[in-house]
Amino acid sequence: MNYQWYPGHMTKAKRQMQEDIKLIDLVIELVDARIPLSSRNPDIDELGKNKARLILLNKADLADEKKNRLWRDYFKNQGFYVIELDARKHTAMKSIQETILDSCKEKIERDKKRGIKNRPIRAMVVGIPNVGKSTFINSFAGKACAKTGNKPGVTKGKQWIKINKSVELLDTPGILWPKFDDQEVGLRLAWIGSLNDNNIDTEELALELISFLVKEYPGALSGRYGVSEDRKQTIEILGEIAEKRSLLRTGGEIDRTRAAALLMDEFRSGRLGRITLEVPQEEQSNG
Ligand code: G4P
- Per-residue pLDDT reduced to its tens digit, 191-240: 999 987 777 899 999 999 999 999 999 999 999 999 999 978 999 999 99
3-state secondary structure of 244: helix
Using the atom order of ligand 1, give the atom closest to the CA of residue 86.
Answer: 23
pLDDT at 17 over 80: yes
pLDDT, position 5: 76
Using the atom order of ligand 1, give the atom closest to the CA of residue 58.
Answer: 23
pTM of the predicted model, to two decimals? Answer: 0.92
Does ligand 1 have an atom closer than 6 angstroms to the CB of 132?
yes
210 close to 221: Cβ distance less than 8 angstroms = yes
- Rounded average pLDDT over 154-162: 74
Q: CA 128 to CA 227: how far, in whole Å?
A: 35
- Rounded average pLDDT over 271-275: 98
Does ligand 1 have an atom closer than 6 angstroms to the CB of 33?
no
Nearest CA to ligand 1 atom 4: 130
- Rounded average pLDDT over 244-255: 95
- Rounded average pLDDT over 46-65: 97
- Rounded average pLDDT over 2-13: 79
Please report which helix (H) or strand (E) contains residue 159, including its range.
strand 159-164
Using the atom order of ligand 1, give the atom closest to the CA of residue 89.
Answer: 23
Q: CA 62 to CA 192: how far, in whole Å?
A: 10
Q: CA 275 to CA 147: how far, in whole Å?
A: 38
3-state secondary structure of 193: coil
Does ligand 1 have an atom closer than 6 angstroms to the CB of 179?
no
Using the atom order of ligand 1, give the atom closest to the CA of residue 30.
Answer: 3
Those residues with Cβ within 8 angstroms of residue 237's Cβ, 6 or more apart along the chain or in another chain: 210, 214, 221, 227, 229
Please report which helix (H) or strand (E) contains residue 52, including its range.
strand 52-58
3-state secondary structure of 32: strand
Percent residues over pLDDT 90 in the chain: 77
Which of 95-109, 148-162, 210-224 is predicted with the least confidence, judged by mean pLDDT? 148-162
Residue type, 179: K
pLDDT, position 9: 85
Where does the pLDDT of residue 145 fall: very low under 50, low under 70, confident under 90, or very high at 90 and above? low
pLDDT at 153 over 70: no
Distance from Cα 69 to the centre of ligand 1, integer Å = 22
